[in-house]
């Protein structure tokens, strides 16, 4: 009999609930108990936020977006902002308390579902002696040690659907539509949705862009009697010699910057330089919402059950991964070493170039 605890950390992604569902069912088949820590590590600090999970509680959740446990990308337990009686903010390390409570509650393993930030925390706890298994989540698909993270396929489908819809309005008005998509410093969402959604221009963080080249493509469309254009811009895309559009952190305990603004910039430049009517929109959190696609559901269910098989086999401090279509595992330490970028020699990039999409270079 084992006792397992799950947490979901960082930005949510479609498929989180499917992982929870899979872990709960796989544990129950083995006669084990499963608990969920609400809002990342909060359940380890306050017992009211630690909930027992049963097949009844997780009924049907594999098909739903978000996370029934809640999530946060603020307040690392190693540097948590706490307000004292005088209203001052002090940063405290509550990791020892979390480890003590983990032991006191009798857990054998913590299954931490998260992206880069949450897996860094999982590694820090592993180093303190907590047996941890990571499950790779992020719509950005930027984790190096797995071929795919769940959430990405759904985000790409949402972005592609949006591009499909924008074609008709762009065409009706002979306009340029600039669409900013998520992805942080990686261009996976922009590249996959841009190719599938018939973009004329895709700007990726991996290729610093030249506004002249972008405008040349729009003028070329005009020459070929295509009077509208669709431009997809990754939020982390950077102009040659320029900087990432960064809105700062702005939220207490949040370490990562909030990106955004490059879409508006690109739209303004296109308007000024080509004289074309241009509109921009930010797809934003729509990409994180909704029901997971079949691909993401299945991947999440596979990850969740593989994680429980790892607990059974005593393989800790590893992250479950997808490698050549199979479930495998890698040490968390290796999984967080670097972020996965778009390979500029890959056939997807070649596909984009071969169908005439401008990549800003």
Residues near ligand F6P (CB under 6 A): 11, 73, 115, 138-140, 182-184, 235, 258-259, 288
Rank residues 109 and 234 by Cβ distance to ligand F6P and give the closer one: 234
Least distance to ligand F6P from the beta carbon of 70, Å?
13
Of residues 140, 153, 185, 296, which has the active-site annotation?
140
Least distance to ligand F6P from the beta carbon of 223, Å?
35
Rank residues 38 and 217 by Cβ distance to ligand F6P and give the closer one: 38
Rank residues 27 and 121 by Cβ distance to ligand F6P and give the closer one: 121
Least distance to ligand F6P from the beta carbon of 271, Å?
25
Residue with smallest beta-carbon separation from ligand F6P:
182
Rank residues 27 and 262 by Cβ distance to ligand F6P and give the closer one: 262
Q: What is the DSSP string of 239-294?
A: BTT----B----STT--SPPB--HHHHHHHHHHHHH---EEEEE-GGGGG-SPPPH
User: Where do the H-state alpha helices sit in the chain?
Assistant: 16-29, 42-45, 95-104, 116-128, 152-173, 188-196, 211-223, 262-274, 294-313, 332-335, 347-354
Integer Cα distance of 194 and 202 in angstroms: 6
SS3 assignment, position 52: strand
Integer Cα distance of 156 and 219 in angstroms: 28
Return contacts of 45-54, CB within 8 angstroms, 24+ apart. Answer: 45/94, 45/97, 45/98, 45/101, 50/5, 50/105, 53/6, 53/20, 53/24, 54/24, 54/28
Rank residues 24 and 181 by Cβ distance to ligand F6P and give the closer one: 181
Whole-angstrom CA distances from 292 to 41, 63, 81, 96, 284 are 24, 6, 33, 36, 17
What token pair was written down for 237? 């895309």
Rank residues 149 and 229 by Cβ distance to ligand F6P and give the closer one: 149
What token pair was written down for 153? 């396929």
Q: Does residue 140 carry a catalytic annotation?
A: yes
Least distance to ligand F6P from the beta carbon of 189, Å?
8
Least distance to ligand F6P from the beta carbon of 33, Å?
31
Contact 311, 305 (CB under 8 A): no
Least distance to ligand F6P from the beta carbon of 71, Å?
10
Chain-centroid distance, C-alpha 313: 29
Q: What is the dihedral of CA 32, 33, 39, 45, to 10 degrees?
A: -120
Catalytic residues: 140
């Amino acid at each position: 009999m084992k006792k397992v605890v799950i947490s979901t950390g960082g930005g949510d992604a479609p498929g989180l609930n499917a992982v929870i569902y899979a872990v709960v069912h796989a544990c129950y088949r083995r006669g084990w108990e499963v608990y969920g820590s609400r809002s990342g590590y909060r359940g380890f600090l306050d017992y009211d936020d630690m909930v027992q999970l049963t097949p009844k509680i997780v009924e049907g959740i594999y098909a739903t977006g978000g996370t029934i446990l809640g999530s946060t990308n603020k307040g690392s337990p190693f540097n948590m902002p706490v307000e004292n009686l005088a209203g001052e903010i002090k940063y405290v390390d509550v990791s020892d308390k979390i480890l003590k409570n983990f032991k006191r509650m009798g857990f054998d393993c913590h299954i931490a579902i998260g992206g880069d930030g949450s897996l860094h925390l999982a590694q820090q706890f592993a180093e303190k002696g907590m047996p941890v298994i990571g499950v790779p989540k992020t719509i950005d698909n930027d984790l190096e040690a797995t071929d795919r993270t769940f959430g990405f396929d759904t985000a790409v489908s949402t972005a592609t659907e949006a591009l499909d819809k924008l074609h008709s309005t762009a065409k009706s008005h002979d306009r340029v539509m600039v669409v900013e998509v998520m992805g942080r410093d990686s261009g996976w969402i922009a590249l996959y949705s841009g190719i599938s959604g018939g973009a004329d221009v895709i700007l990726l963080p991996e290729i610093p862009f030249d506004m002249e080249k972008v405008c040349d493509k729009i003028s070329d469309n005009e020459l070929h009697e295509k009077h509208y254009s669709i431009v997809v811009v990754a939020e982390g895309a950077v102009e040659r010699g320029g900087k990432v559009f960064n809105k700062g952190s702005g939220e207490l305990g949040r370490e990562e910057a909030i990106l955004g603004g490059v879409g508006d910039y690109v739209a303004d430049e296109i308007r000024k330089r080509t004289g074309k009517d241009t509109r921009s929109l930010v797809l934003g959190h729509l990409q994180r919402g909704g029901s997971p696609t079949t691909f993401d559901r299945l991947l999440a269910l596979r990850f969740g059950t593989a994680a429980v098989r790892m607990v059974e086999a005593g393989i800790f401090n590893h992250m479950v991964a997808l490698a050549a279509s199979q479930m495998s595992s890698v040490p968390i330490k290796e999984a967080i070493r670097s972020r996965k970028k778009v390979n500029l020699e890959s056939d997807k990039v070649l596909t984009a170039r071969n169908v005439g999409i401008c990549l800003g270079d």
